[in-house]
Structure 1
Amino acid sequence: MPENHPDSRPAADRLADRQAISDLMTGWIHRDRQDWDTLATLFHEDATLRVMWFSGRAHDFIEGSRRMAEGPLRTKHFIGNPTIAFAGDRAFVETNAILLADHTELGIGATVHVRFLDRVSRRAGTWRIERRDAVYDLGGFTYPFGPAAAPDIDADALRERHPREYASLAYLIESSGIAVTGTFPIRFSEQERAILSEGHAWLAQSGG
Protein backbone atom coordinates (compact mmCIF):
# COMPACT_ATOMS: atom_id res chain seq x y z
CA MET A 1 0.00 0.00 0.00
CA PRO A 2 1.27 3.49 -0.74
CA GLU A 3 0.70 4.86 2.76
CA ASN A 4 1.51 3.65 6.27
CA HIS A 5 -0.80 4.14 9.20
CA PRO A 6 0.67 3.83 12.70
CA ASP A 7 -1.21 1.47 14.95
CA SER A 8 -0.82 1.69 18.70
CA ARG A 9 -1.44 -2.01 19.34
CA PRO A 10 1.48 -4.45 19.52
CA ALA A 11 1.81 -6.65 16.45
CA ALA A 12 1.10 -9.76 18.52
CA ASP A 13 -2.26 -8.32 19.53
CA ARG A 14 -3.23 -8.02 15.87
CA LEU A 15 -2.75 -11.69 15.00
CA ALA A 16 -6.38 -12.59 15.67
CA ASP A 17 -7.53 -9.49 13.79
CA ARG A 18 -5.40 -10.39 10.78
CA GLN A 19 -6.75 -13.91 10.75
CA ALA A 20 -10.33 -12.69 10.98
CA ILE A 21 -9.82 -10.30 8.06
CA SER A 22 -8.00 -12.93 6.00
CA ASP A 23 -10.98 -15.22 6.54
CA LEU A 24 -13.25 -12.47 5.17
CA MET A 25 -11.16 -12.23 2.02
CA THR A 26 -10.99 -15.98 1.38
CA GLY A 27 -14.66 -16.20 2.29
CA TRP A 28 -15.36 -15.10 -1.30
CA ILE A 29 -15.32 -18.85 -2.01
CA HIS A 30 -18.91 -18.86 -0.74
CA ARG A 31 -19.88 -16.92 -3.86
CA ASP A 32 -18.33 -19.57 -6.09
CA ARG A 33 -20.11 -22.27 -4.06
CA GLN A 34 -23.41 -20.34 -4.27
CA ASP A 35 -23.66 -20.38 -0.49
CA TRP A 36 -25.49 -17.08 -0.37
CA ASP A 37 -26.38 -17.03 3.32
CA THR A 38 -22.75 -17.52 4.35
CA LEU A 39 -21.59 -14.96 1.79
CA ALA A 40 -23.86 -12.41 3.44
CA THR A 41 -22.01 -12.81 6.74
CA LEU A 42 -18.89 -11.23 5.20
CA PHE A 43 -20.59 -7.83 5.08
CA HIS A 44 -22.04 -5.32 7.51
CA GLU A 45 -25.75 -4.69 6.98
CA ASP A 46 -25.07 -1.27 5.42
CA ALA A 47 -22.08 -2.39 3.32
CA THR A 48 -21.72 -1.27 -0.29
CA LEU A 49 -19.96 -2.91 -3.20
CA ARG A 50 -18.93 -1.89 -6.72
CA VAL A 51 -17.84 -4.36 -9.39
CA MET A 52 -18.25 -4.35 -13.15
CA TRP A 53 -21.90 -5.31 -13.26
CA PHE A 54 -23.15 -3.96 -9.94
CA SER A 55 -22.96 -0.90 -7.71
CA GLY A 56 -24.99 -0.63 -4.52
CA ARG A 57 -25.78 -2.47 -1.30
CA ALA A 58 -23.79 -5.64 -0.76
CA HIS A 59 -26.88 -7.64 0.10
CA ASP A 60 -28.51 -6.59 -3.18
CA PHE A 61 -25.33 -7.76 -4.90
CA ILE A 62 -25.82 -11.17 -3.33
CA GLU A 63 -29.34 -11.37 -4.73
CA GLY A 64 -28.03 -10.32 -8.13
CA SER A 65 -25.32 -12.97 -7.93
CA ARG A 66 -27.96 -15.56 -7.16
CA ARG A 67 -29.83 -14.62 -10.34
CA MET A 68 -26.60 -14.52 -12.37
CA ALA A 69 -25.79 -18.05 -11.23
CA GLU A 70 -28.91 -19.26 -13.03
CA GLY A 71 -27.52 -18.04 -16.36
CA PRO A 72 -24.77 -19.30 -18.68
CA LEU A 73 -21.84 -17.50 -17.04
CA ARG A 74 -19.82 -19.46 -14.48
CA THR A 75 -17.03 -17.90 -12.41
CA LYS A 76 -14.36 -18.99 -9.98
CA HIS A 77 -11.97 -16.89 -7.87
CA PHE A 78 -8.48 -17.58 -6.59
CA ILE A 79 -7.76 -15.26 -3.64
CA GLY A 80 -4.27 -14.17 -2.55
CA ASN A 81 -3.03 -13.10 0.87
CA PRO A 82 -4.28 -9.64 1.84
CA THR A 83 -2.20 -6.60 2.72
CA ILE A 84 -3.78 -4.98 5.79
CA ALA A 85 -3.34 -1.51 7.29
CA PHE A 86 -4.93 -1.05 10.74
CA ALA A 87 -6.15 1.93 12.69
CA GLY A 88 -8.17 1.08 15.77
CA ASP A 89 -11.27 -0.85 14.76
CA ARG A 90 -10.77 -0.10 11.08
CA ALA A 91 -8.61 -1.70 8.40
CA PHE A 92 -7.94 -0.92 4.77
CA VAL A 93 -7.28 -4.13 2.88
CA GLU A 94 -5.85 -4.87 -0.58
CA THR A 95 -6.19 -8.39 -1.95
CA ASN A 96 -5.10 -9.90 -5.25
CA ALA A 97 -7.55 -12.25 -6.97
CA ILE A 98 -7.71 -14.16 -10.24
CA LEU A 99 -11.16 -14.46 -11.78
CA LEU A 100 -11.87 -17.32 -14.17
CA ALA A 101 -15.04 -17.00 -16.24
CA ASP A 102 -16.66 -19.54 -18.56
CA HIS A 103 -19.67 -18.79 -20.77
CA THR A 104 -21.20 -22.22 -21.25
CA GLU A 105 -23.29 -21.28 -24.29
CA LEU A 106 -20.55 -19.47 -26.23
CA GLY A 107 -17.78 -21.93 -25.39
CA ILE A 108 -15.47 -19.05 -24.50
CA GLY A 109 -13.96 -17.86 -21.24
CA ALA A 110 -11.78 -15.16 -19.72
CA THR A 111 -9.07 -14.85 -17.10
CA VAL A 112 -8.87 -11.51 -15.30
CA HIS A 113 -6.51 -10.34 -12.55
CA VAL A 114 -8.41 -8.23 -10.04
CA ARG A 115 -7.64 -6.46 -6.77
CA PHE A 116 -10.23 -5.96 -4.08
CA LEU A 117 -9.84 -2.73 -2.11
CA ASP A 118 -11.86 -3.11 1.07
CA ARG A 119 -12.78 -0.95 4.01
CA VAL A 120 -13.21 -3.38 6.88
CA SER A 121 -14.42 -2.45 10.36
CA ARG A 122 -15.05 -4.15 13.67
CA ARG A 123 -18.50 -3.58 15.13
CA ALA A 124 -19.77 -5.31 18.25
CA GLY A 125 -16.54 -7.30 18.31
CA THR A 126 -16.85 -8.68 14.74
CA TRP A 127 -14.85 -7.72 11.65
CA ARG A 128 -16.85 -7.38 8.45
CA ILE A 129 -16.52 -5.63 5.10
CA GLU A 130 -17.97 -2.12 5.01
CA ARG A 131 -17.13 -1.23 1.42
CA ARG A 132 -15.60 -3.19 -1.47
CA ASP A 133 -14.22 -1.83 -4.75
CA ALA A 134 -12.67 -3.88 -7.54
CA VAL A 135 -9.68 -2.75 -9.61
CA TYR A 136 -9.02 -4.59 -12.87
CA ASP A 137 -5.31 -5.09 -13.57
CA LEU A 138 -5.21 -7.18 -16.75
CA GLY A 139 -7.10 -9.92 -18.51
CA GLY A 140 -7.97 -11.64 -21.76
CA PHE A 141 -10.05 -14.32 -23.44
CA THR A 142 -9.53 -18.04 -23.02
CA TYR A 143 -11.11 -20.78 -25.06
CA PRO A 144 -12.10 -23.81 -22.97
CA PHE A 145 -13.12 -25.83 -26.03
CA GLY A 146 -10.52 -24.49 -28.46
CA PRO A 147 -10.38 -21.35 -30.62
CA ALA A 148 -12.83 -22.83 -33.11
CA ALA A 149 -15.57 -22.50 -30.49
CA ALA A 150 -15.02 -18.75 -30.07
CA PRO A 151 -17.62 -16.43 -31.60
CA ASP A 152 -16.63 -13.84 -34.18
CA ILE A 153 -15.56 -11.07 -31.79
CA ASP A 154 -15.25 -7.58 -33.23
CA ALA A 155 -12.06 -6.66 -31.37
CA ASP A 156 -12.02 -3.05 -32.56
CA ALA A 157 -15.59 -2.40 -31.45
CA LEU A 158 -14.94 -4.10 -28.12
CA ARG A 159 -11.79 -2.02 -27.58
CA GLU A 160 -13.73 1.19 -28.20
CA ARG A 161 -16.26 0.30 -25.52
CA HIS A 162 -14.09 -1.17 -22.73
CA PRO A 163 -10.45 -0.95 -21.58
CA ARG A 164 -8.40 -4.00 -22.50
CA GLU A 165 -7.88 -4.81 -18.80
CA TYR A 166 -11.47 -6.01 -18.48
CA ALA A 167 -12.92 -6.00 -22.00
CA SER A 168 -13.02 -9.80 -22.17
CA LEU A 169 -14.98 -10.12 -18.93
CA ALA A 170 -17.33 -7.31 -19.94
CA TYR A 171 -18.03 -9.14 -23.19
CA LEU A 172 -19.00 -12.34 -21.36
CA ILE A 173 -21.17 -10.47 -18.86
CA GLU A 174 -22.97 -8.61 -21.63
CA SER A 175 -23.39 -11.87 -23.56
CA SER A 176 -25.20 -13.15 -20.47
CA GLY A 177 -27.79 -10.40 -20.75
CA ILE A 178 -26.35 -8.04 -18.11
CA ALA A 179 -25.45 -4.49 -19.12
CA VAL A 180 -21.94 -3.15 -18.44
CA THR A 181 -22.09 0.63 -18.45
CA GLY A 182 -19.61 3.30 -17.41
CA THR A 183 -15.91 2.82 -16.77
CA PHE A 184 -14.27 0.93 -13.93
CA PRO A 185 -10.94 1.26 -12.11
CA ILE A 186 -7.89 -0.19 -13.81
CA ARG A 187 -4.33 -0.33 -12.52
CA PHE A 188 -2.75 3.10 -11.93
CA SER A 189 -5.90 4.92 -13.09
CA GLU A 190 -7.35 8.06 -11.56
CA GLN A 191 -10.25 5.98 -10.26
CA GLU A 192 -7.87 3.65 -8.45
CA ARG A 193 -5.96 6.58 -6.94
CA ALA A 194 -9.23 8.08 -5.71
CA ILE A 195 -10.28 4.82 -4.03
CA LEU A 196 -6.90 4.52 -2.33
CA SER A 197 -6.88 8.15 -1.22
CA GLU A 198 -10.41 8.02 0.15
CA GLY A 199 -9.74 4.69 1.83
CA HIS A 200 -6.66 5.95 3.64
CA ALA A 201 -8.53 9.11 4.66
CA TRP A 202 -11.31 6.94 6.09
CA LEU A 203 -8.70 4.90 7.96
CA ALA A 204 -7.09 8.02 9.38
CA GLN A 205 -10.45 9.06 10.84
CA SER A 206 -10.47 6.08 13.18
CA GLY A 207 -10.49 6.99 16.84
CA GLY A 208 -8.34 3.96 17.70
Structure 2
Amino acid sequence: MNAPHRFHRFHTGWIHRDLGQWDRLRDLFHPDGRIEITWFEGPAHEFVDASARMGASDFRTKHLITAPVVTFSDDGARAVSETSAVVIGENIRLQLGCNGHNRFVDRLEKRDGAWRILDRKSVYDFATFTFPAGIVDIDATAVSRFPRAYAALAHLLEKSGFPVRRIFATKGSDLERDIKQTAFAWLREGKRA
Protein backbone atom coordinates (compact mmCIF):
# COMPACT_ATOMS: atom_id res chain seq x y z
CA MET A 1 0.00 0.00 0.00
CA ASN A 2 1.55 3.27 -1.11
CA ALA A 3 0.53 5.57 1.76
CA PRO A 4 2.65 8.69 1.13
CA HIS A 5 0.66 9.99 -1.85
CA ARG A 6 -2.66 9.19 -0.17
CA PHE A 7 -1.94 11.12 3.00
CA HIS A 8 0.39 13.83 1.75
CA ARG A 9 -2.50 16.27 1.24
CA PHE A 10 -3.77 15.99 4.84
CA HIS A 11 -0.51 17.10 6.31
CA THR A 12 0.82 19.52 3.71
CA GLY A 13 -2.79 20.61 3.09
CA TRP A 14 -2.77 22.65 6.29
CA ILE A 15 -1.08 25.32 4.14
CA HIS A 16 -4.60 26.07 2.84
CA ARG A 17 -5.43 27.42 6.30
CA ASP A 18 -2.36 29.66 6.33
CA LEU A 19 -3.16 30.92 2.82
CA GLY A 20 -6.87 31.50 3.44
CA GLN A 21 -7.94 28.85 0.91
CA TRP A 22 -11.05 27.92 2.85
CA ASP A 23 -12.74 25.59 0.33
CA ARG A 24 -9.54 23.57 -0.05
CA LEU A 25 -9.17 23.38 3.74
CA ARG A 26 -12.79 22.21 4.07
CA ASP A 27 -12.11 19.45 1.53
CA LEU A 28 -9.53 17.84 3.85
CA PHE A 29 -12.37 16.73 6.15
CA HIS A 30 -15.36 14.43 5.79
CA PRO A 31 -18.68 16.32 6.06
CA ASP A 32 -19.11 14.89 9.59
CA GLY A 33 -15.46 15.54 10.49
CA ARG A 34 -14.56 17.06 13.86
CA ILE A 35 -11.60 18.94 15.27
CA GLU A 36 -10.41 19.72 18.81
CA ILE A 37 -7.61 22.22 19.29
CA THR A 38 -6.95 24.94 21.89
CA TRP A 39 -9.32 27.55 20.54
CA PHE A 40 -11.91 25.44 18.71
CA GLU A 41 -13.88 22.25 19.33
CA GLY A 42 -16.61 21.07 17.01
CA PRO A 43 -17.52 20.27 13.41
CA ALA A 44 -14.71 20.79 10.92
CA HIS A 45 -16.88 22.93 8.61
CA GLU A 46 -17.44 25.35 11.52
CA PHE A 47 -13.70 25.30 12.22
CA VAL A 48 -13.04 26.45 8.65
CA ASP A 49 -15.48 29.35 9.09
CA ALA A 50 -13.87 30.23 12.44
CA SER A 51 -10.42 30.07 10.83
CA ALA A 52 -11.59 32.58 8.21
CA ARG A 53 -12.64 34.92 11.04
CA MET A 54 -9.25 34.43 12.70
CA GLY A 55 -7.55 35.16 9.38
CA ALA A 56 -9.29 38.54 9.25
CA SER A 57 -8.16 39.41 12.81
CA ASP A 58 -4.89 40.80 14.18
CA PHE A 59 -3.76 37.24 14.92
CA ARG A 60 -1.71 35.53 12.19
CA THR A 61 -0.49 31.93 12.11
CA LYS A 62 1.83 29.75 10.11
CA HIS A 63 2.00 25.95 10.51
CA LEU A 64 5.14 23.94 9.82
CA ILE A 65 4.14 20.29 9.38
CA THR A 66 6.36 17.19 9.40
CA ALA A 67 5.84 13.80 7.76
CA PRO A 68 3.20 11.66 9.52
CA VAL A 69 3.46 8.26 11.12
CA VAL A 70 0.45 6.32 9.71
CA THR A 71 -1.09 3.06 10.93
CA PHE A 72 -3.76 1.37 8.78
CA SER A 73 -6.70 -0.81 9.77
CA ASP A 74 -6.67 -4.42 8.59
CA ASP A 75 -9.27 -3.67 5.92
CA GLY A 76 -7.29 -0.65 4.62
CA ALA A 77 -10.28 1.70 4.91
CA ARG A 78 -9.19 3.53 8.06
CA ALA A 79 -5.97 4.94 9.44
CA VAL A 80 -4.59 6.79 12.43
CA SER A 81 -1.80 9.28 11.86
CA GLU A 82 0.36 11.34 14.19
CA THR A 83 2.07 14.42 12.81
CA SER A 84 4.39 16.90 14.50
CA ALA A 85 3.78 20.57 13.82
CA VAL A 86 4.96 24.00 14.86
CA VAL A 87 2.35 26.74 15.14
CA ILE A 88 3.96 30.14 14.68
CA GLY A 89 1.60 32.87 15.82
CA GLU A 90 1.74 36.65 16.06
CA ASN A 91 -0.71 39.31 17.10
CA ILE A 92 0.42 42.32 15.11
CA ARG A 93 -1.47 44.78 17.33
CA LEU A 94 0.05 43.39 20.55
CA GLN A 95 3.49 42.94 18.93
CA LEU A 96 3.63 39.55 20.63
CA GLY A 97 4.14 36.12 19.12
CA CYS A 98 4.65 32.49 20.03
CA ASN A 99 5.96 29.19 18.76
CA GLY A 100 3.84 26.22 19.82
CA HIS A 101 5.00 22.67 19.20
CA ASN A 102 2.23 20.11 18.93
CA ARG A 103 1.21 16.81 17.36
CA PHE A 104 -2.00 16.17 15.44
CA VAL A 105 -3.58 12.77 16.07
CA ASP A 106 -5.93 12.14 13.15
CA ARG A 107 -8.49 9.48 12.39
CA LEU A 108 -8.63 9.13 8.61
CA GLU A 109 -11.25 7.23 6.69
CA LYS A 110 -11.70 6.22 3.08
CA ARG A 111 -15.25 6.77 1.83
CA ASP A 112 -16.37 6.42 -1.79
CA GLY A 113 -12.73 6.12 -2.81
CA ALA A 114 -11.62 9.35 -1.08
CA TRP A 115 -9.50 9.65 2.07
CA ARG A 116 -10.39 12.51 4.40
CA ILE A 117 -9.97 13.44 8.05
CA LEU A 118 -12.78 12.23 10.30
CA ASP A 119 -11.31 13.47 13.57
CA ARG A 120 -8.34 15.69 14.45
CA LYS A 121 -7.10 16.26 17.98
CA SER A 122 -3.97 18.02 19.16
CA VAL A 123 -1.39 17.11 21.80
CA TYR A 124 0.79 20.03 22.94
CA ASP A 125 4.51 19.53 23.62
CA PHE A 126 5.80 23.02 24.49
CA ALA A 127 5.41 26.67 23.56
CA THR A 128 7.43 29.85 23.94
CA PHE A 129 6.78 33.55 23.42
CA THR A 130 8.45 35.52 20.64
CA PHE A 131 8.89 39.27 20.48
CA PRO A 132 8.91 40.39 16.83
CA ALA A 133 9.26 44.11 17.62
CA GLY A 134 11.07 43.97 20.97
CA ILE A 135 10.22 42.88 24.50
CA VAL A 136 6.68 43.59 25.73
CA ASP A 137 5.19 43.04 29.17
CA ILE A 138 3.32 39.77 29.75
CA ASP A 139 0.99 39.11 32.68
CA ALA A 140 2.59 36.02 34.25
CA THR A 141 -0.51 35.32 36.35
CA ALA A 142 -2.71 35.20 33.23
CA VAL A 143 -0.22 32.91 31.47
CA SER A 144 -0.04 30.55 34.46
CA ARG A 145 -3.75 29.68 34.05
CA PHE A 146 -2.73 27.27 31.28
CA PRO A 147 -0.50 24.18 31.23
CA ARG A 148 3.07 25.21 30.48
CA ALA A 149 3.11 23.05 27.33
CA TYR A 150 0.80 25.49 25.54
CA ALA A 151 0.58 28.49 27.90
CA ALA A 152 2.22 30.94 25.48
CA LEU A 153 -0.07 29.88 22.63
CA ALA A 154 -3.21 29.93 24.80
CA HIS A 155 -2.36 33.35 26.25
CA LEU A 156 -1.84 34.83 22.80
CA LEU A 157 -5.06 33.24 21.52
CA GLU A 158 -7.05 34.64 24.44
CA LYS A 159 -5.54 38.13 24.07
CA SER A 160 -6.50 37.92 20.38
CA GLY A 161 -10.16 37.10 21.15
CA PHE A 162 -10.03 33.30 20.72
CA PRO A 163 -10.61 31.84 24.21
CA VAL A 164 -9.26 28.50 25.36
CA ARG A 165 -12.09 26.96 27.37
CA ARG A 166 -10.60 23.81 28.90
CA ILE A 167 -7.43 21.81 29.51
CA PHE A 168 -6.00 20.02 26.47
CA ALA A 169 -3.66 17.07 26.08
CA THR A 170 0.03 17.63 26.74
CA LYS A 171 3.00 15.34 26.18
CA GLY A 172 2.80 12.35 28.49
CA SER A 173 -0.56 13.33 30.00
CA ASP A 174 -3.53 11.08 30.69
CA LEU A 175 -5.42 13.04 28.04
CA GLU A 176 -2.77 12.16 25.43
CA ARG A 177 -2.98 8.51 26.42
CA ASP A 178 -6.79 8.59 26.14
CA ILE A 179 -6.70 10.23 22.70
CA LYS A 180 -4.34 7.58 21.36
CA GLN A 181 -6.09 4.63 23.01
CA THR A 182 -9.45 5.76 21.68
CA ALA A 183 -8.06 6.33 18.18
CA PHE A 184 -6.44 2.90 18.00
CA ALA A 185 -9.53 1.21 19.45
CA TRP A 186 -11.53 2.89 16.68
CA LEU A 187 -8.97 1.63 14.15
CA ARG A 188 -9.28 -1.95 15.40
CA GLU A 189 -13.05 -1.96 15.81
CA GLY A 190 -14.03 0.02 12.73
CA LYS A 191 -16.13 2.45 14.74
CA ARG A 192 -16.51 6.06 13.68
CA ALA A 193 -15.39 8.89 15.99
TM range (shorter): over 0.9
Q: Does 1:200 align with 2:187?
A: no
Structure 1 residue 67: Cα displacement: 0.7
Aligned partners of 2:34, 2:99: CA distance in 1, in Å?
A: 25
Residue-pair matches, total: 189
Tell me which of 66, 75, 94 is aligned to 2:82. Answer: 94
Tell me the equivalent position of 1:178: 162
Q: Does 1:153 align with 2:138?
A: yes
AA of the residue aligned to 1:153: I
AA of the residue aligned to 2:66: G
Aligned partners of 1:178, 1:113: CA distance in 2, in Å?
A: 18
Aligned partners of 1:95, 1:26: CA distance in 2, in Å?
A: 11
**Structure 1 residues 192 and 54 mapped into 2: Cα distance closer, same or farther (>3 Å)?**
same
Q: Is the 8 A contact 1:18 1:84 kept in 2?
A: no
Tell me the equivalent position of 1:123: 111
**Scaled by the length of structure 1, what TM-score is found?**
0.88
Q: Is the 8 A contact 2:89 2:99 kept in 1?
A: yes
AA of the residue aligned to 2:83: T
AA of the residue aligned to 2:107: R
Q: Is the 8 A contact 1:75 1:102 kept in 2?
A: yes
Q: Does 1:111 align with 2:99?
A: yes
AA of the residue aligned to 2:17: R
Q: Is the 8 A contact 1:138 1:165 kept in 2?
A: yes
Specify the SS of the correspondent of 2:156.
Answer: helix
| Bigger-Rg structure (1/2) | 1
Aligned partners of 1:177, 1:202: CA distance in 2, in Å?
A: 35
Tell me which of 124, 139, 142 is aligned to 2:130. Answer: 142
Q: Does 1:163 align with 2:147?
A: yes
AA of the residue aligned to 2:33: A
Structure 1 residue 200: Cα displacement: 0.4
Aligned partners of 1:154, 1:102: CA distance in 2, in Å?
A: 17
Structure 1 residue 62: Cα displacement: 0.3
**Structure 2: 5+ residue stretches without partners:** none
**Structure 1: 5+ residue stretches without partners:** 1-13
Aligned partners of 1:145, 1:158: CA distance in 2, in Å?
A: 20
Q: Which aligned segments of 4 or more residues in structure 1 are displaced greater than 6 angstroms? A: none
Aligned partners of 1:163, 1:113: CA distance in 2, in Å?
A: 13
Aligned partners of 2:139, 2:24: CA distance in 1, in Å?
A: 40
Structure 1 residue 18: Cα displacement: 3.0
Tell me the equivalent position of 1:10: none
Specify the SS of the correspondent of 2:50.
Answer: helix
Q: Determine what percentage of the aligned residue pairs are the same residue.
A: 43
**Scaled by the length of structure 2, what TM-score is found?**
0.95
Tell me the equivalent position of 1:58: 44
Tell me the equivalent position of 1:24: 10
